[in-house]
Amino acid sequence: MITRPKNILLTGPPSVGKTTIIKKIAGLVDDAKGFYTEEIRSRGKRVGFRLKTLNGREGILAHIDIKSRFRVGKYGVNIEDLEDIGVGAIEDGLQDEECRVIILDEIGKMELFSRRFKDIVIEALNSEKLLIGTIKLKGNGFIEGIKQRNDTIIIQVTYDNRENIPPMILRRLNFRIL
């Protein structure tokens, strides 16, 4: 039996609009749980990244002022908030029978420092729930392994196609959910 892929992951260069698409989808889907990331800016400069769950919890994913052995460039990565807030939001979605869609922004370098994060990503991808998220354009074996999954569609976001992606994803969700 041939089945349609159930996971949709957006990829593309930084600042192309992946998170904007995720936030738009999350705002239109009632039965979703998960998290997305936002830049933290100070005086016009990016100084970090915030995690925000769909039910209102917030934490710091990374910041220039965080002292951590886990670093990506100038940012110290806050594994505690990632696991408590980010992983927790995905776990909540997997356990909630009314949740049909998991939102995950993003599967990237900072997040991959956490074994718990990698484990919950695989659990969510393998679940019956639809996963909509973002994934780093280029990455290690873990990222490339996810991109090779038969149950996952990878959509390259560009400046030219980014306006067309939310309606396409919503049509796909309606097909599966209704």
HSE, side-chain direction, 13 A CA sphere, residue 164: 7
pLDDT in tens, 98-157: 999 999 999 999 999 999 999 999 999 999 999 999 999 988 899 999 999 999 999 999
pLDDT, average across residues 36-64: 97
pLDDT, average across residues 69-83: 98
134 and 106 in contact (C-beta within 8 Å)?
yes
Task: Report the share of the chain in percent with pLDDT over 90.
Answer: 89
3 state DSSP class of 106: strand
Taking the complete model, does pTM exceed 0.95, yes or no?
A: no
Structure tokens given for 132: 């909509």
Helix (H) or strand (E) holding 95: helix 88-95
**Residue 73 φ/ψ region, left for φ over 0, alpha for ψ in the -120 to 50 degree band, beta for the rest:** left
**How many whole angstroms separate alpha carbon 61 and alpha carbon 89?**
14
3 state DSSP class of 11: strand
Of residues 118, 110, 103, the one with CA closest to residue 78 = 110
**Residue 147 φ/ψ region, left for φ over 0, alpha for ψ in the -120 to 50 degree band, beta for the rest:** alpha
How far, CA to CA in Å, does 131 sit from each of 46, 58, 78, 123, 160? 28, 21, 24, 11, 24
| 84 φ, ψ (degrees, to nearest 5) | -70, -50
Superfamily per CATH, domain 7-35+88-177: P-loop containing nucleotide triphosphate hydrolases (3.40.50.300)
